[in-house]
Amino acid sequence: MINGPNIRTEPMTVNIGPQHPSTHGVFRLRVTFDGEEILQVEPIFGYLHRGTEKLAEERNYTQVVTLTDRLDYVSSMINNQAYCLAVEKLLGVEAPMRGKYLRTLAAELQRIAAHLMGIGFILQDLGTLGTPLMYCFRSRERILDLFEMLCGARITVSYMRPGGVFFDAPPDFWPALEQFLRDFDEEYKELGQLILENEIVMVRTRGVSYLPLEAAINGSVSGPVLRASGLGWDWRKVEPYDAYDLVEFDVPVPPYNPAGGDNYDRFWVRVQEIRQSVRIIRQCAAQIEPGPVRAAVPLVLRPEPGAEAYGRVEASKGELAFYLVSDGGISPYRCKIRSPSLLNLTVTEHLLVGWKLADMIVTLGSVDINMGEVDR
């Protein structure tokens, strides 16, 4: 700050959001600027609070699936999966093999869709007019079409059920999937040409907003943001669920940097994870065998009184977990949601203070929060 006999400057406080084009929902940051530089930042949220946890206590176990769709609404399949795993643990049942494969396949398709949106919005925040975003959306639309074939819905899918999935895939799903994977290789290459080696993307994201591994672990950060800091921690590998122990895939981790992961690393991890998801989907499609898709569970589920379970998955944004407690009734006594977006926000101050306004927007994009999940 410049201060002298003839000039006096003072910091300026600006509310970024809740209505702002790049806060990814109704997120608000109260930021104090010195010119363009950030001195202080305070995240404020709760504008999208819908009481999902309380609502879950009023519905039976199967109905709660529809609530999970609306948490992180760009990765509904993975939310379904986390909740169903928790209920299965509560009941002590396991999904049949075909159900497991279908769930893995759907979850990975959803991960591609969610990462495509994440990448697209980082580039949107970088100031492209929307061309890369539309390229990402083009592929995402194809995935949503596949979901429509699976369950009739595109966003709020509610495809999975405790004990498996609701429907088997229709016969024409498999050729459509094959076609999509073939086309997606081309589209992914095209997207890579457009964005990955763009020098402006490089200079805007390299070396900006470092997140050291220690700070990430202390802040309970998970998912791509944690992996970008140099730790290959992925629940699909660490504690495999569904069919993840039957398929081969890598966990992309950028070269370890003591300063931490920067915006480009977070961006890069997502781009690489899309490739791994395609690998998983191909293996699932090759390995899947005919059989039942849902375990024999009663229509109305009544777990043992006092039973509790913690079901967790590696969602597109990090560790998503449901903690369920049963009192023997038809609905959970308590349903606690550990949402990755909320916990990834714990490092906001670490990421933003000292950087510029333009970097702040990109950093928020690289953390890839979803307000439906933050506020629940």
Output the CA–CA distances (angstroms, integers) from residue 214 to 39, 42, 151, 295, in the order listed: 22, 21, 42, 42
| Size of the chain in residues | 376
Q: DSSP string covering 319-334, please?
A: EEEEEEE--SSSS-SE
Residues linked to residue 337 through DSSP beta bridges, in sequence order: 322
Q: Smallest distance, Å, CB 183 to other proteins? A: 13
Q: Which is nearer to other proteins, 72 or 234 (CB)?
A: 234
Q: How many CB atoms lie within 10 A of CB 187?
A: 16
Q: Which is nearer to other proteins, 114 or 126 (CB)?
A: 126
Residue from 100, 51, 92 nearest 326 by CA: 92
For other proteins, the binding residues (CB under 8 A) are 12, 14, 20-22, 36, 123-131, 134-135, 138, 192, 194, 196-204, 206-207, 230-234, 237-239, 250-256, 264, 268, 272, 275, 356-359, 361
Residue from 48, 100, 57, 109 nearest 78 by CA: 109
Identify residue 293 by its one-letter amino acid code.
V
Q: Which is nearer to other proteins, 48 or 231 (CB)?
A: 231
Q: Smallest distance, Å, CB 5 to other proteins? A: 22
Q: Smallest distance, Å, CB 201 to other proteins? A: 6
Q: Smallest distance, Å, CB 33 to other proteins? A: 8
Q: Which is nearer to other proteins, 137 or 167 (CB)?
A: 137
Q: Smallest distance, Å, CB 230 to other proteins? A: 7
Q: Which is nearer to other proteins, 14 or 155 (CB)?
A: 14
Distance of CA 233 to the CA centre of its chain: 15
Q: Which is nearer to other proteins, 72 or 265 (CB)?
A: 265
In terms of Cβ atoms closer than 10 Å to its own Cβ (0-12, 13-18, 19+), residue 56 is buried
CA 212/CA 261 separation, integer angstroms: 6
Please say whether the beta carbons of 89 and 310 come within 8 A. Answer: yes
Q: Which is nearer to other proteins, 59 or 356 (CB)?
A: 356
Q: Smallest distance, Å, CB 290 to other proteins? A: 32
Identify residue 273 by its one-letter amino acid code.
E
Q: Smallest distance, Å, CB 251 to other proteins? A: 5
